[in-house]
């Protein structure tokens, strides 16, 4: 049982540029302990990996032109979304896609905030690999979660979610545990990586706070593997969308 958890903003991080070591920048500004968990916003991971693109570098295909006309969006932006996606689930009233690393989100997570006009910021190409590489550079044994924000069906507002992780299991399996009446749980899988990302996002904020890293202290390791991304054959919602 978890008794308490503390979250700490990493202050003083500079504007991140391509080639910057996030591990070095974080541990030079915060005294990490073994077992601390580090949440890092995908935006700064993308910037360190050189995932900023000129919008003018994209040439829209016919499909991008058609979608852009329906949505009232820049065709070049739509082309960027198509190139970062492995599947288009909806093309109206917004672009809901599956990214090449398996995350379902709007516009492939491409961001136009916190970058200069005329530029866009792509998500990390492989966020879990990014998390693993950052973790290897740390001087302490600390799990790493790469976070982003997503909207949710049937609810207003966005919340932080994990799109990449290393050093922890993103899922906590409660199956076979018993409730207070002694009945075994049969289907409960807890999305702990998303819960942690949501907590961290409360501190990070959503605009220009320049606080993209949070250290979480006091959590168990949740050791193991697993994925947050539901296989297509088990995804009821995707099946419904594809049948229309």
Binding residues for GTP: 13-16, 42-43, 47, 114, 204-211
Adjacent-strand bridge partners of 152? 155
Rounded to an integer, what distance in angstroms lies between the CA atom of residue 15 and that of residue 28?
Answer: 15
Q: Which residues fall in the annotated binding site for a divalent metal cation?
A: 111, 148-149, 206
Confirm if 121 and 112 have CB atoms less than 8 A apart. yes
Cβ within 8 Å of residue 182, ≥6 positions away: none
Q: Which residues fall in the annotated binding site?
A: 13-16, 42-43, 47, 111, 114, 148-149, 204-211
Rounded to an integer, what distance in angstroms lies between the CA atom of residue 113 and that of residue 53?
Answer: 13
Rounded to an integer, what distance in angstroms lies between the CA atom of residue 35 and that of residue 143?
Answer: 7
Rounded to an integer, what distance in angstroms lies between the CA atom of residue 213 and that of residue 138?
Answer: 14
């Amino acid at each position: 049982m978890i008794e308490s958890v503390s979250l700490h903003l990493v202050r003083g991080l500079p504007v991140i540029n391509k080639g910057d070591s996030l591990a070095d920048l974080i541990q030079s500004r915060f005294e990490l302990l073994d077992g601390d968990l580090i949440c890092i916003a995908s935006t700064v991971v993308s910037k360190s990996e050189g995932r900023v693109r000129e919008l003018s570098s994209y040439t829209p295909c016919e499909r991008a032109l058609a979608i852009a006309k329906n949505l009232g969006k820049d065709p070049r932006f739509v082309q960027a979304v198509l190139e970062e996606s492995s599947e288009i689930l909806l093309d109206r009233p917004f672009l809901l896609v599956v990214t090449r690393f398996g995350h379902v989100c709007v516009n492939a997570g491409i961001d136009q905030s916190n970058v200069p006009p005329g530029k866009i910021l792509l998500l990390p190409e492989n966020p879990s690999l990014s998390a693993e590489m950052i973790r290897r550079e740390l001087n302490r044994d600390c799990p790493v979660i790469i976070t982003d924000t997503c909207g949710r069906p049937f609810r207003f507002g966005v919340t932080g979610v994990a799109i990449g992780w290393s050093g922890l299991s993103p899922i906590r399996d409660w199956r076979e545990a018993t409730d207070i009446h002694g009945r075994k749980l049969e289907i409960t899988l807890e999305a702990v990586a998303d819960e942690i990302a949501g907590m961290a996002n409360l501190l990070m904020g959503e605009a220009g706070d320049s606080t993209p890293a949070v250290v979480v202290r006091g959590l168990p390791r949740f050791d193991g593997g697993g994925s947050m991304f539901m296989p297509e054959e088990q995804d009821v919602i995707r099946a419904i969308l594809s049948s229309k």
